[in-house]
Amino acid sequence: MSLDNQPIYTGGCQCGAVRFRAEGALGEPSICHCRMCQKAFGNFFAPLVSVREAKFGWTRGEPKRFQSSNHVRRGFCPRCGTPLTYESPDDLALAIGAFDHPEELAPRRQWGVEAKLPYLDTLHTLPGGRTVEDADAGTFLADIVSWQHPDHETDQWPPRRAG
C-alpha cells in the first residue's frame, strides 16, 4: 500500500526489460475472447484489467506498439515479445498475467464470447499434473535455470554476474 492507502500493483514482461507500476483502483478484470485478442496474445483469450483510474507509469523501458485496428494499439516487450497492453482512445488495459501478483486480479467479466473457443468450458475436466511430474521432460527439467525476471521490483535486470 502507498502512504495514502491506495493499492499498488507492479509487473512487467518476462525478460524484465519493461516494468510498470499502478497506484490506485484498477478497473474490472476481464477476459476477451475476440479473434483479435486471441491473435494478440497467441492464446485462447486475453486477460486484461484497466488502469485508466490509477496513477500509472512505466518504471523500466516501454512497450513497442502494434496498431491492430483503426482504434486499438497493442503493446509488447520489444526484447522478449510478452504481450502487455490494450490501448484504445479512452483506456489503457494491462495483461493480467504481466502483473507480479496476477492471483489478485481474478476476471469478473467476459467479452467477445461470439469467438469463444468451444473447448474452453471443458478444460477443467482434463487430467492435470505438476510440471515436475512430466516424465517426458524430466531430464530437461532437472537442470533448467530460469532467466525470467522475478515477480518483484529489482534495481536492475539482468543481474550482474560475478567474475
Question: What CATH number corresponds to the domain at position 37?
Answer: 2.170.150.70
Number of independent structural domains in the chain: 1
pLDDT value at residue 13: 97
pLDDT value at residue 2: 58
User: Shortest CA distance to 20 belongs to which of 53, 59, 47?
Assistant: 59
Indicate whether 67 belongs to any domain: yes
pLDDT value at residue 134: 75
Indicate whether 1 belongs to any domain: no
Cα separation, 139 vs 47, in Å, equals 33
pLDDT value at residue 148: 83
Cis ω for the linkage preceding 158 (within 30 of 0) = yes
Indicate whether 154 belongs to any domain: no
Four-residue CA torsion sign, 89, 59, 65, 99 = negative
Task: Give Cα 8 distance to the centre of its chain.
Answer: 16
Indicate whether 96 belongs to any domain: yes
Indicate whether 151 belongs to any domain: no
- Residue 125 sits in which domain range? 8-142
Q: pLDDT tens string for the chain (163 positions)? A: 655 789 999 999 999 999 999 999 999 999 999 999 999 999 999 999 999 999 999 999 999 999 999 999 999 999 999 999 999 999 999 999 999 999 999 999 999 999 999 999 999 999 998 877 777 776 777 777 778 888 898 887 776 665 5
